[in-house]
Amino acid sequence: METEENTLKWTCRACTYLNYFKSLRCVMCKSLKPVEIISLSPTSNETPITPLVDTCESHLRISDENITKLCNSPRNSISSSRNESSPVATLIDDVRNMGIRNSDTTAIRSNNSSPLASSSNLSITTTTTNNKSDENLRLCYNNNNNNINNENSKKWFCSACTYENYPKSIKCSMCGIKRDQSNIQKIIACENDYIENLDDLMTGASNFNLITNSTTSSSSSTKISDSYTAKNNLKNLPNNYEISSSHSNLAAVNNNSSNKYTLSSNELEAQHERRIRHFKRQADWIWLNACIGVVENNQAAIEHYLSRGGNVGRTLTNNEVLLLNRPSAFDVGHTLIHLAIRFHRDELLPRLLAQVSSVGPSGLKIVPSYIAVDIATDIRRHFGAILRIRKSPFNCHYVNEHATFSLPSDIEELPITVQDQLYEELLDRDAQKQLENPPPALNWSLEVTSRLGSRLMVLWNRSAGDCLLDSCMQSTWGVFDRDNILRRALSESLHQCANLFYPRWREYEMFQAALLHFSLEEAQWEEDWQQLLSIASQPGASLEQLHIFVLAHIFRRPIIVYGVKYVKSFRGEDIGYARFEGLYLPLLWEQSFCIRSPIALGYTRGHFSALVPSEPYQRLDSTREEEEDVTFLPLVDCENKLIPIHFLTQGEIGHEETIMRQWLDVCLTEGGLLVAHQKLHKRPLLVAQMLEEWLNHYRRIAQVTAAPFSRAPQLIGLTAGYLSDGDTDEE
């Protein structure tokens, strides 16, 4: 009994669930039941099609009335049994019968004088139509199943938390944020095209050889009913038509492109207008009016948005920027605070910042390059201009101007509350905490941080795959590598100087592999090298140790990386060595061609950050004649062991301290720590202007928050005390 029930069930092609025979959709995944071509058995009550065609061929003389009778007889016999057949068989019968009828009427119209020719044309056309319809139906159903599987696999990512959701989910399952309107627009557009263009799809179905375009006036009423029936049945089929965005006519589509359909330009414009109207209905105009209010200095729109519980940290999406249609004013990712800073709305900033502080830490980051956008662009352009290529066998890119970024000492002049806000918006507290947690990799020596005043700060960095390049640019020029200038220089240097970088990289990696008691073949080395070359040229791709080594040659200075020793899982368990911590020297340059002042980077769990010092408010030694400030960077870890030097050859291993003294200005502290001197040169003019504009932003905040409430209670207290003493005005 169970085997009989199993044979009557059908298996879902998407999830392999065994469903009952009458189920039109899968109970588990809701996929449509696979359609199978039902062959008409000769024992059924329906009038078979093939014998009728054979009968037409056997008679040489057939009148017009008999031809019409033969063409109409399958229609009548099949329609009488529709109530007993399945919906799938009904759909197949509709399509086949309409094809036979249209072919018959064409044969009748084209041959009024020769009954023999009409009968032969009828049989040939009917047989060809049936064969092509069966073949195309099979292709159509297979394509439908493939489309179902492909669409089910296309999950969408939440723009807020990056969680991967199912295609039919309207909200994110993790954070509850609504789905991006661009994806919803695609779904709505497909549904509208599918439903509203069924008449056009019936016309274009000739590409499937299912329905012909020839019509006759004698059977117009019958064709209207058939079109209506087929149209309703087509609504139950999966949408297998790919609506083309081309403006070509329908006649340009040939029979070979059977799965494509073209809409006219008027219909495309109507669809575009319909999408825009739908998005305007769905858009949050209170939020958009608030953004416009910041640009146009309309405080009423901003107050209306905030009074309704609006989030100050909300960012503009791509669709919202397109809807506002002002690229010069609005950009993706901007908040109300960014817009207020950009358009110098000083009277709005305290209100917005107070809203941020009232709801707690918001994670909103404001780095100097965000305040002075134009100056930051000029700095990146200037950095691209100072890149050179040396005319020598080692034709690597290099910079001919050096800079070291540090936080200005003017920060100490701001009020404590404003300083806290500045550091909260500038620094990466999580990375700082992770680097300082035991075993500490940063700021572990009280002698260096307190007595020598060389505490390093972790600047906030973008979370993209360009974090290594961004951190190098922040440590030197205080901006991000948004234009991928440094990445292009890195990629070109690796390709042009592969004959020098590859042997040293291979020797170093072979030594590291030998320590772990394994070796690689030459083909594996070449494959790994090609992978390193490939990711160097891909924006957003994560970089490796070799790329830090190349960057040291581009900047012509050492790079020190302070990082965690172990990579941890989300449970906090150690799962592997990080291997990024250490010293990277420009060993392929001459020592006289490089500077001895290093830059410092931090590495935490797949992310690089810039480590910068604060400019001392008062010089440590007022008697020294040098005009340069010095930061002391430890060359040992918390266990007083030398940090490793990467990409040394076999002959250089074992002489690490000597090599450090050759490439760095090294000294010993009173506590016996080996440290390197990082000299803080005078800032470039563009960097100084950017920092000044950034500080002015917080100075304006300090002025607004300091006046006049802090002095009012003191005035009232003095006045009250003066009047309560009973003294006269003369006294």
pLDDT recorded at residue 257: 41
Judging by beta carbons within 10 Å of its beta carbon (0-12, 13-18, 19+), is residue 549 exposed, middle or buried?
buried
* Largest Cα–Cα separation, the chain: 139
Which residues does residue 632 pair with via DSSP β-bridges, in sequence order? 677
pLDDT in tens, 412-423: 999 999 999 999
Sign of torsion, CA 190 191 196 198? positive
pLDDT recorded at residue 719: 35
- pLDDT of residue 82 exceeding 90, the answer is no
* Both structure tokens of 586: 């420009």
pLDDT in tens, 665-715: 999 999 999 999 999 988 999 999 999 999 999 998 888 776 544 443 333
Report DSSP letters for 565-600, one per residue: SEEE-TTS-EEEE----EEE--TTS-GGGS-S--EE
Long-range contacts of 467-471 (CB under 8 A, 24+ apart): 467/607, 467/608, 467/609, 468/542, 468/543, 468/547, 468/548, 468/551, 468/601, 468/608, 469/543, 469/551, 470/608, 470/610, 471/601, 471/602, 471/608, 471/609, 471/610
pLDDT recorded at residue 75: 41
The C-alpha atoms of residue 196 and residue 200 are separated, in whole angstroms, by: 9
CATH number of the domain at 283-364, please? 1.25.40.560
Higher pLDDT, 621 or 672: 672
- pLDDT of residue 89 exceeding 70, the answer is no
pLDDT in tens, 236-267: 333 333 333 333 333 443 444 444 344 556 77
The C-alpha atoms of residue 139 and residue 258 are separated, in whole angstroms, by: 10
* Both structure tokens of 159: 């723009």
Which residues does residue 257 pair with via DSSP β-bridges, in sequence order? none
Higher pLDDT, 99 or 505: 505
H or E element, residue 244: strand 242-244
The C-alpha atoms of residue 400 and residue 385 are separated, in whole angstroms, by: 10
297-311, 374-388, 715-729: range with lowest mean pLDDT? 715-729
Three-class secondary structure assignment of 306-333: HHCCCCCCCCCCHHHHHHHCCCCCCCCC
- pLDDT of residue 217 exceeding 80, the answer is no
The answer to whether 625 and 420 are in contact (CB under 8 A) is: no
The C-alpha atoms of residue 678 and residue 612 are separated, in whole angstroms, by: 10
pLDDT recorded at residue 392: 87
The answer to whether 605 and 564 are in contact (CB under 8 A) is: yes
pLDDT recorded at residue 176: 79
Helices in 332-371 by DSSP H: which ranges?
Answer: 336-342, 349-358, 368-371
- pLDDT of residue 572 exceeding 60, the answer is yes
pLDDT in tens, 431-477: 999 999 988 999 999 999 999 999 999 999 987 678 999 999 999 99
159-163, 301-305, 463-467, 623-627: range with lowest mean pLDDT? 623-627
Band of residue 499 on the pLDDT scale cut at 50, 70, 90: very high
The C-alpha atoms of residue 367 and residue 691 are separated, in whole angstroms, by: 10
Band of residue 175 on the pLDDT scale cut at 50, 70, 90: confident
pLDDT recorded at residue 284: 84
Band of residue 181 on the pLDDT scale cut at 50, 70, 90: low
H or E element, residue 678: strand 674-680
pLDDT recorded at residue 153: 56
Q: What is the mean pLDDT of residues 638-654?
A: 93
Domain regions of the chain by residue span: 47-137+153-270, 283-364, 396-689
The C-alpha atoms of residue 99 and residue 163 are separated, in whole angstroms, by: 49
- Highest mean pLDDT pick, 112-116, 190-194, 305-309, 400-404: 400-404
Higher pLDDT, 273 or 191: 273
93-97, 312-316, 477-481, 719-723: range with lowest mean pLDDT? 719-723
Query: Which residues, including other chains, have CB under 8 Å from residue 403's CB and lie 6 or more apart?
Result: 476, 477, 681, 683, 684, 687
Q: Helices 87-110 and 64-80 meet at what angle, rounded to 10?
A: 170
pLDDT recorded at residue 264: 58
Parallel, antiparallel or unpaired: strands 666-668 and 674-680: antiparallel
- pLDDT of residue 109 exceeding 60, the answer is no
- What three-state secondary structure class fits 680? strand
Neighbours of 643 (CB within 10 A): 19
- pLDDT of residue 36 exceeding 50, the answer is yes
For 114, phi and psi rounded to 5 degrees? -120, 105
Architecture of domain 396-689: Alpha-Beta Complex (3.90)
Its pTM surpasses 0.75:
no
Q: What is the mean pLDDT of residues 473-486?
A: 95
- pLDDT of residue 137 exceeding 60, the answer is no
pLDDT recorded at residue 363: 59
Q: Name the DSSP letter for residue 410.
A: G
Q: E-strand spans in 452-604? A: 456-458, 559-563, 566-568, 574-577, 582-584, 599-603
Q: Which residue has the tokens 């087929």?
A: 230
Q: What is the mean pLDDT of residues 392-413?
A: 94
The C-alpha atoms of residue 306 and residue 289 are separated, in whole angstroms, by: 12
pLDDT recorded at residue 571: 66
- Average per-residue pLDDT in the chain? 73
Question: pLDDT > 70: what percent of the chain?
Answer: 64
- pLDDT of residue 320 exceeding 80, the answer is yes
- pLDDT of residue 43 exceeding 80, the answer is no
Task: Enumerate the active-site residues.
Answer: 467, 607
